[in-house]
A and B are shown apart, each in its own frame.
Chain A
Amino acid sequence: MRLTNALSAPARRARKLGTVAAAAALLVTLADAPQAVAQTAAATPSGARARAACDRACLIEIADRYMAALVDKSWRDLPWAERVRFTENDVAMMIGDGVWGTVTKIDEAPFKLADPATGNVLWVGIVEEHGQPAYYAMRLAIVDGQIADVETVVAREGTPAHFAPTAGYALDESFSETLPANERRPRERLIALAEGYYNTMQLNDGQLLGEFAPDCKRVSNGVDFTHGESAPARGCRAQFEIGYYKPVDRVRARRYPIVDEERGVVVAFAFLDHSARFVEYETRDGRTHSIPVEYPNSHRVVDLFKIRNGAVERVEGFAVFQPYLMPSLWKDE
């Protein structure tokens, strides 16, 4: 993926506010301070309301504006809802804090996916913080054309989580591909198939609880888990059949806020909990494996599922190393 900085971002606008106007804007901001605490689903847009307010192009345009503002550190100009909820890696904070202080470049070729039915839009790609690249996944919820939710997940290098170099990374092209009508499935079924993947993964013992394409692939933080050199078996199904994911105690706090039936894509947010109660385990093929981190930890994940003909074909996403059992501030939608 290519990166762009503030100076080259086409959406950047010249600063027009004088001192007085800026001060006035600040006072307004303080009076209507965005609420950063992600409390309940009460602010979740109803489908009808969201549809009426913002179609696919509108949602993606707001995501682009947000990212341009992020690199420009000019959040005040964005269309904020009256009550805004913002998290970075599952911590609620104020807009302007966190990544707003560190991002220096953003991907020029990100992947974006909008779901007008829920009013949610996804932006994933590479960002740089003071020159250091990180995987960045963000969900915005738009209500009446205004940003109500900002859920940011940033996977950085240098934590105990897996991390492949970002150079040349791009989400697989299949996620952009529109499926022929006969290969599509309804929203509910797509979510059930993603659920089946997670149900199979947690406490993985060989029992399959979902549908997997023959060569299903899993990529996380750029690491190929199913077809790489160290893969213990090729493909999601083969790995699940030997119980390779046994160290995942549970896949918790799952949400599916963005679904695209035409492309057969589901975007999932969840936690993988690793209690680390054992450090070695045997798979059903008789081989012994070690867990990567020998103390309790959780991974915040954002996974994109590509589902064709009723089977999971590809799971690609991002994982952030988190304290064990880190709670989600976002509720199901």
Chain B
Amino acid sequence: MSRKNAAPKGKIMSDLRHEKGAEPVLALFAAVFALVAAPSHAQAPGQPSAVIRVDCDRDCLIGYAERYLDALVHRDTTRAPFARHARFTENNVEMPLGEGLWGTINAVWEDSMAIADEQTGNVAWFGIVEEHGHPAYFAMRLKVENREITEVETIVSRRPDMPKPFGDPTRIHYDPAFDEVVPPEERVSRERLVALADGYFSTVELNDGVVFTPFHEDCERVENGIHTTGSGGGSANNAASIAQGCEEQFRLGIYRINKRIRERRYPLVDEERQVVVATGFFDHANTFDRYLLTDGREMRTVLKWPNSISLIEAFKVKDGKIHRIHAVFTYVPYFMHSPFAQPNVDFQTR
């Protein structure tokens, strides 16, 4: 395992050569012209243009993630190209760039996983950071627009915290499946990929044995470094000690304490690799502190009070089924809202 300490990696700058955008002056001119000449509302809702132009391809986007990490580990925000009004959240609190992890970080580990979506200009990165020498699981989403970083959404999962999966960071495994390009004839569409991930969340929500998404027979999940669906998971709190396999666990209703999976967003899809990155909250209302599995076994909740977990989660789809799940999550106050999410009154329920 290698670590990226104060020295930046040599490839960071070279990644930016993948830029396809116009020169700055021309781009500015084009933008001004567009404001004057473009008919408004003649695009699909939410789209800046009727033709999606890829200004920054996958390698370019990942280059931005690496530049961000380089700036972060140097605690120097001037080392990355931020838009003037770039938004930054750490564990769903919006704060100025340079705050939070920026003040405590001392290393970014090399071993990591990146996912990019050229269409939406988002890039996600999963890895380990160190604060004062203590490793923490870290996941982030950057949005890149006009060759600047406009959004930074981060989850930092630290210790000490409340009881949660937290595997040995030195044994973290990033499944190469997330990087593998799937042959075109084996792919499903962007819309279906999102539906599969959404079905996963619907399965977790009020989990009572009903399964709303297809799971691959070899499905595996890693959460904060722990394999929670297979052998080798470890602790007694781990769901893998009750049942193994993604679908098997849901058929048993292990995750019943999830009252709702809220503010689900799917900002990244990589159709070539059949990967979706989602964000959201698992609300544990804990109105009950014991419940029955579908096989009649009784379970007791660990925490007796309302809490939520906030996550960034990547899904790899194979044969149109969920094959790999990689998540980083942390506890947040119950029902906490993400500044990046639109309030959804459907979830403002008791």
Contacts and interface: CB of A to CB of B under 8 A. Distances in A.
B134 A129 contact: no
Given A102-B304, A134-B305, A324-B90, 10 more contacts: A91-B335, A97-B335, A131-B304, A293-B160, A295-B101, A323-B333, A324-B91, A324-B95, A326-B333, A327-B93
Interface in B114-154: 131-132, 134, 136
Contact of A296 (B104, B162, B334, B336): B104
A275 B99 contact: yes
A154 B350 contact: no
A279 B286 CA distance: 35
Given A94-B349, A296-B104, A101 B333 contact: no
Contacts of A1: none
Interface of B: 90-95, 99-101, 103-104, 131-132, 134, 136, 156, 158, 160-163, 285-287, 289, 301, 303-306, 332-337, 348-350
A277 B289 CA distance: 38
B261 to A, nearest CB: 15
A89 B93 contact: no
Contact of B333 (A36, A91, A275, A277): A91
A326 B92 CA distance: 9
B100 A94 contact: no
Interface residues of A, number: 40
Contacts, number: 121
A214 interface: no
A88 B93 contact: no
A89 B331 CA distance: 13
A325 B93 contact: yes
B350 A279 contact: no
A323 B349 contact: no
Closest 10 CB pairs of A and B: A96-B350, A101-B287, A130-B289, A130-B304, A132-B304, A277-B103, A323-B91, A93-B335, A89-B333, A129-B305
A101 B104 contact: no
Contacts of B158: 295
Most chain B CB atoms below 10 A, which of A92, A93, A159: A93
A97 B289 CA distance: 16
B304 A129 contact: yes
Given A129-B304, A132-B304, A154-B305, A276 B104 contact: yes
B86 to A, nearest CB: 16
B162 A295 contact: no
Given A101-B287, A102-B306, A129-B305, A294 B335 contact: no
Contacts of B306: 88, 97-99, 101-102
B305 to A, nearest CB: 5
A97 B305 CA distance: 11
Contacts of A154: 305
B348 A94 contact: yes
Contacts of B287: 101-102
A158 interface: yes
Given A97-B350, A102-B286, A324-B100, A294 B305 contact: no
B303 A158 contact: yes
B303 A324 contact: no
A130 B286 CA distance: 9
A322 B333 contact: yes
Given A91-B335, A94-B348, A102-B286, A294 B163 contact: no
Nearest to A98: B306
B103 A160 contact: no
B134 A295 contact: yes
A93 B161 contact: no
Contacts of B160: 160, 293
B101 A100 contact: no
Contacts of A132: 304-305
A156 interface: yes
A296 B103 contact: yes
B100 to A, nearest CB: 5
A283 to B, nearest CB: 20
B338 to A, nearest CB: 12
Contacts of B94: 327
Interface in A221-265: none
13 contacts: A92-B337, A93-B334, A98-B306, A101-B286, A102-B286, A154-B305, A156-B305, A158-B303, A160-B161, A276-B131, A295-B101, A295-B156, A327-B93
A54 B311 CA distance: 45
A158 B163 CA distance: 8
Interface string A287-304: 000000111100000000
Interface in A45-63: none
A195 interface: no
Nearest to A154: B305
B335 A324 contact: no
Given A277-B103, A294-B104, A91 B337 contact: yes
Contacts of A326: 93, 333
A95 B349 CA distance: 9
Contacts of B100: 275, 296, 324-325
